[in-house]
Amino acid sequence: MSDKNERYSRSYPISWEQLHRDVKALSRRLHDLNRAWKGIVAVTRGGLVPAAIVARELGIHLIDTICITSYDWQNQGDSSILKPMDGDGEGLLIIDDLVDTGGTARIVRQMLPMAYFATVYAKPAGKSLVDDHVTEVSQDTWILFPWDSEPRFVEPIVG
Protein backbone atom coordinates (compact mmCIF):
# COMPACT_ATOMS: atom_id res chain seq x y z
CA MET A 1 0.00 0.00 0.00
CA SER A 2 1.41 3.41 -0.92
CA ASP A 3 2.14 6.14 1.58
CA LYS A 4 -0.71 8.22 0.08
CA ASN A 5 -3.24 5.46 0.74
CA GLU A 6 -2.11 5.14 4.35
CA ARG A 7 -2.49 8.89 5.06
CA TYR A 8 -5.71 9.57 3.15
CA SER A 9 -8.91 7.74 3.93
CA ARG A 10 -11.18 10.12 2.01
CA SER A 11 -11.27 11.53 -1.47
CA TYR A 12 -12.69 14.91 -2.52
CA PRO A 13 -12.97 15.26 -6.32
CA ILE A 14 -13.16 18.85 -7.53
CA SER A 15 -14.71 19.62 -10.92
CA TRP A 16 -13.56 22.51 -13.11
CA GLU A 17 -16.88 24.24 -12.39
CA GLN A 18 -16.51 23.87 -8.61
CA LEU A 19 -12.91 25.05 -8.71
CA HIS A 20 -13.94 28.11 -10.69
CA ARG A 21 -16.76 28.92 -8.22
CA ASP A 22 -14.43 28.47 -5.23
CA VAL A 23 -11.70 30.66 -6.75
CA LYS A 24 -14.24 33.36 -7.63
CA ALA A 25 -15.40 33.27 -3.99
CA LEU A 26 -11.76 33.71 -2.91
CA SER A 27 -11.42 36.58 -5.40
CA ARG A 28 -14.44 38.34 -3.89
CA ARG A 29 -12.92 38.06 -0.43
CA LEU A 30 -9.61 39.41 -1.68
CA HIS A 31 -11.38 42.27 -3.47
CA ASP A 32 -13.20 43.16 -0.24
CA LEU A 33 -9.83 43.70 1.46
CA ASN A 34 -9.60 46.84 -0.68
CA ARG A 35 -5.87 46.53 -1.34
CA ALA A 36 -3.88 47.63 -4.35
CA TRP A 37 -1.96 44.47 -5.17
CA LYS A 38 1.37 44.93 -6.97
CA GLY A 39 1.04 41.45 -8.42
CA ILE A 40 0.34 37.79 -7.86
CA VAL A 41 2.81 35.04 -7.05
CA ALA A 42 1.50 31.61 -8.01
CA VAL A 43 2.94 28.63 -6.13
CA THR A 44 3.54 26.09 -8.85
CA ARG A 45 2.13 23.98 -10.05
CA GLY A 46 -1.14 23.88 -8.12
CA GLY A 47 -1.47 27.64 -7.78
CA LEU A 48 -1.24 28.37 -11.52
CA VAL A 49 -4.91 27.88 -12.43
CA PRO A 50 -6.29 29.60 -9.31
CA ALA A 51 -3.83 32.49 -9.82
CA ALA A 52 -5.03 32.97 -13.40
CA ILE A 53 -8.65 33.17 -12.25
CA VAL A 54 -7.83 35.56 -9.38
CA ALA A 55 -5.78 37.73 -11.76
CA ARG A 56 -8.70 37.96 -14.17
CA GLU A 57 -11.24 38.72 -11.46
CA LEU A 58 -9.10 41.39 -9.77
CA GLY A 59 -7.64 42.91 -12.93
CA ILE A 60 -4.06 42.02 -11.98
CA HIS A 61 -1.64 41.65 -14.90
CA LEU A 62 1.67 41.00 -13.14
CA ILE A 63 1.99 37.30 -12.31
CA ASP A 64 5.17 35.56 -11.20
CA THR A 65 5.86 32.11 -9.77
CA ILE A 66 7.61 30.41 -6.93
CA CYS A 67 8.40 26.85 -7.93
CA ILE A 68 8.50 24.33 -5.11
CA THR A 69 8.05 20.61 -5.40
CA SER A 70 6.92 18.46 -2.48
CA TYR A 71 4.37 16.06 -3.99
CA ASP A 72 4.45 13.32 -6.52
CA TRP A 73 1.57 11.09 -7.42
CA GLN A 74 2.27 8.72 -4.53
CA ASN A 75 4.01 10.63 -1.77
CA GLN A 76 4.36 13.94 -0.08
CA GLY A 77 8.03 14.28 0.65
CA ASP A 78 10.83 16.73 1.18
CA SER A 79 10.42 20.06 -0.53
CA SER A 80 12.79 21.37 -3.17
CA ILE A 81 12.92 25.00 -4.24
CA LEU A 82 13.16 25.08 -8.04
CA LYS A 83 12.62 28.84 -8.48
CA PRO A 84 12.76 31.28 -5.53
CA MET A 85 11.76 34.96 -5.42
CA ASP A 86 13.61 37.96 -4.07
CA GLY A 87 12.23 40.72 -1.86
CA ASP A 88 9.96 40.56 1.16
CA GLY A 89 6.66 40.27 -0.72
CA GLU A 90 5.23 43.64 0.30
CA GLY A 91 2.11 44.28 -1.80
CA LEU A 92 2.12 40.82 -3.35
CA LEU A 93 -0.64 38.25 -3.27
CA ILE A 94 0.49 34.62 -3.05
CA ILE A 95 -1.99 32.11 -4.49
CA ASP A 96 -1.92 28.34 -4.11
CA ASP A 97 -4.54 25.66 -4.59
CA LEU A 98 -4.10 24.05 -1.17
CA VAL A 99 -2.28 24.28 2.11
CA ASP A 100 -1.92 20.73 3.43
CA THR A 101 0.73 19.98 6.05
CA GLY A 102 2.21 23.46 5.70
CA GLY A 103 5.62 22.43 4.40
CA THR A 104 5.40 24.46 1.21
CA ALA A 105 3.65 27.36 2.97
CA ARG A 106 6.48 27.64 5.52
CA ILE A 107 9.04 27.94 2.73
CA VAL A 108 6.96 30.55 0.90
CA ARG A 109 6.39 32.52 4.12
CA GLN A 110 10.14 32.59 4.77
CA MET A 111 10.78 33.82 1.23
CA LEU A 112 8.03 36.48 1.18
CA PRO A 113 7.10 37.28 4.80
CA MET A 114 5.18 40.49 3.96
CA ALA A 115 2.99 39.00 1.22
CA TYR A 116 -0.68 38.10 1.69
CA PHE A 117 -1.07 34.33 1.28
CA ALA A 118 -4.40 32.88 0.09
CA THR A 119 -5.33 29.34 -0.85
CA VAL A 120 -8.53 27.88 -2.20
CA TYR A 121 -8.52 24.87 0.13
CA ALA A 122 -6.93 24.37 3.54
CA LYS A 123 -6.33 21.46 5.87
CA PRO A 124 -6.02 21.88 9.65
CA ALA A 125 -2.25 21.26 9.82
CA GLY A 126 -1.45 24.13 7.48
CA LYS A 127 -4.41 26.48 7.86
CA SER A 128 -2.68 28.84 10.31
CA LEU A 129 0.09 29.54 7.76
CA VAL A 130 -2.20 31.26 5.25
CA ASP A 131 -4.08 34.52 5.58
CA ASP A 132 -7.23 33.32 3.83
CA HIS A 133 -8.85 30.26 2.27
CA VAL A 134 -12.30 29.33 1.01
CA THR A 135 -12.91 25.71 2.02
CA GLU A 136 -11.45 23.60 4.80
CA VAL A 137 -11.18 19.85 4.37
CA SER A 138 -10.08 17.22 6.87
CA GLN A 139 -6.42 16.26 7.06
CA ASP A 140 -7.16 12.71 5.91
CA THR A 141 -8.77 13.86 2.64
CA TRP A 142 -7.00 13.63 -0.70
CA ILE A 143 -8.22 16.45 -2.95
CA LEU A 144 -8.45 15.32 -6.55
CA PHE A 145 -8.05 18.46 -8.66
CA PRO A 146 -9.47 18.56 -12.19
CA TRP A 147 -6.00 18.80 -13.74
CA ASP A 148 -5.12 15.48 -12.05
CA SER A 149 -8.02 13.57 -13.60
CA GLU A 150 -9.84 13.20 -16.86
CA PRO A 151 -13.49 12.53 -17.64
CA ARG A 152 -14.12 9.23 -19.33
CA PHE A 153 -16.90 6.74 -19.90
CA VAL A 154 -17.34 4.16 -17.14
CA GLU A 155 -19.23 0.93 -17.74
CA PRO A 156 -22.46 0.67 -15.70
CA ILE A 157 -22.67 -1.93 -12.93
CA VAL A 158 -25.56 -3.65 -14.71
CA GLY A 159 -24.98 -3.80 -18.46
Give 25-76 pLDDT, tens digit per residue: 999 999 999 999 999 999 999 999 999 999 999 999 999 999 998 755 455 5
* 3-state percent helix, strand, coil for the chain, nearest multiple of 5: 30, 30, 40
CATH code (residue 81):
3.40.50.2020
Q: Find the catalytic residue in 96, 132, 140, 148.
A: 96
Q: Find the catalytic residue in 100, 131, 132, 140.
A: 100
Any domain includes 157: no
Per-residue pLDDT, 158: 79
pTM given for the model = 0.87
Any domain includes 151: no
Per-residue pLDDT, 121: 98
96 included as an active-site residue:
yes
Any domain includes 136: yes
Q: For the segment 3-14, what is each residue's pLDDT rounded down to a tens digit?
A: 555 678 899 999
C-beta separation of 107 from 79 below 8 A: yes
97 included as an active-site residue:
yes
Q: How many folded domains does the chain comprise?
A: 1
- Reported as a pLDDT band with limits 50, 70 and 90, residue 95 is very high
| Full domain range(s) for residue 100 | 15-145
86 included as an active-site residue:
no
DSSP 8-state assignment for residue 87: S
Per-residue pLDDT, 151: 72
* Cα dihedral sign, 39-101-1-157: negative
Any domain includes 7: no
Is residue 24 over pLDDT 60?
yes
- Reported as a pLDDT band with limits 50, 70 and 90, residue 2 is very low
Q: Find the catalytic residue in 22, 86, 97, 131.
A: 97
H or E stretch covering 17: helix 16-32
Residue 125: burial class (beta carbons within 10 Å; 0-12, 13-18, 19+): middle
Decide which of 2 and 135 is more confident: 135
Q: How many CA atoms lie within 13 A of 87 on its CB side?
A: 12
Q: For the segment 103-139, what is each residue's pLDDT rounded down to a tens digit?
A: 999 999 999 999 999 999 999 999 999 999 999 999 9
